[in-house]
Structure 1
Amino acid sequence: MASGRTEVQVRPGTEDDLGALTALYNHYVRETAITFDTVAFTPEERRPWLLSHPEDGPYRLMVATTPDSREILGYTTSGPYRPKPAYTTSVETSVYVAPQAGRGGIGTLLYGALFEALAGEDVHRAYAGIAQPNAASARLHERFGFRHVGTHREVGRKFGRYWDVAWYEKAL
């Protein structure tokens, strides 16, 4: 997929990506209510998160990069929905796109790769929580077949205010 003049590549995330992935996530921690984390992470603090996403299985980490892999344009993950054993066939998904790469189709490219990777796994449902308002994220999820199943009102407090989270579900 082209983004400007540069071809975008999607691949599994690796430990070499840890610094860039942490920096990207910290942007969302510091500047937005998209994540409810409130304190930025060091790469070492994020290492367990990265290692919880192997190259196979239901919990994936995919990154979009420039062809030389020097710039991470975004990433997507699937992870445990809840920790109890009966939930193992459900995953929670998320997408984070670098601010300079927004509106370039990176989220669509990443989700396409993630759901293709999950196609052979024992996963029955995907869920996504979207802090409100976030029309762009809602459109992305709906494009991939997610449907709104409910909203938790004022479930998180960040930046001195309460935020709603809309929940979306997709059959896999």
Structure 2
Amino acid sequence: MITAVRPADPARDAADCAAIYAPYVTDHWASFEIEAPDAAEMARRMALYGPTHGWLVAQCDGQVVGYAYASPHRERAAYAGSCDVAIYIAQAFHGRGIGRALYDALLQGLRERGYHAAFAGIALPNPGSIALHEALGFTPVGIYREVGWKHHEWRDVGWWQLLL
């Protein structure tokens, strides 16, 4: 059971977030990174995106078990009202409502900050992530075919959009 969803603290949460993310990088195609970032890199990302877009962690009994964040969709000025979102949950905590709680809070924060649209890129296949995003109102907008090379195969990325 979730005991808290709160803003991430780079000094306090970076190592836990890096540990949650590492298997998605090394053992799965959900992330297109090839090497898992360490705590220092995760802290840098938190400090970069947290203040402008939001970076949240979920805790169960004091343990960080997942995180969600938003980041700029693209760099050009006309994209300023759009953002990308991502979420990662520790494997042992899948299916417990943590993703929904994190995204509910993150999306509300994006609305309050005045963002207009959120986009989620999902490496395919990933039925669990698709189900979560669609349950939250995201709709599919397209697929980049064979856009990333991961684990000796070309991978597609589907894109989902939510107007905030």
Alignment root-mean-square deviation, CA: 1.2
Amino acid of the structure 2 residue aligned with 1:63? V
State yes or no: 1:54 paired with 2:50: yes
Partner of 1:75: 67
- 5 Å-filtered alignment, 1:155-170, equals 155-170=147-162
Moved over 3 A (4+): none
Give the TM-score normalised by structure 1: 0.90
Instruction: Give structure 2 stretches of 5+ with no counterpart.
Output: none
Partner of 1:8: 3
- 5 Å-filtered alignment, 1:13-162, equals 13-15=8-10, 16-55=12-51, 57=52, 59-67=53-61, 69=62, 71-162=63-154
Corresponding residue pairs, total: 163
Larger displacement relative to structure 2 (36-45 or 143-152): 36-45
- How far apart are 1:53 and its partner, in Å? 2.6
Alpha-carbon separation, structure 2, partners of 1:107 and 1:157: 27
Instruction: Give structure 1 stretches of 5+ with no counterpart.
Output: none
Aligned residues with identical type, % of pairs: 34
- How far apart are 1:52 and its partner, in Å? 1.0
Question: Cα deviations across residues 96-135 of structure 1 (Å, max 9, x unaligned)?
Answer: 0100101111111111111121221121110000000011
- How far apart are 1:152 and its partner, in Å? 0.5
* Kept after mapping to 1: 8 A contact 2:146/2:155: yes
SS in 1 for 2:86: strand
Alpha-carbon separation, structure 2, partners of 1:8 and 1:106: 10
Alpha-carbon separation, structure 2, partners of 1:14 and 1:107: 19
Give the TM-score normalised by structure 2: 0.95
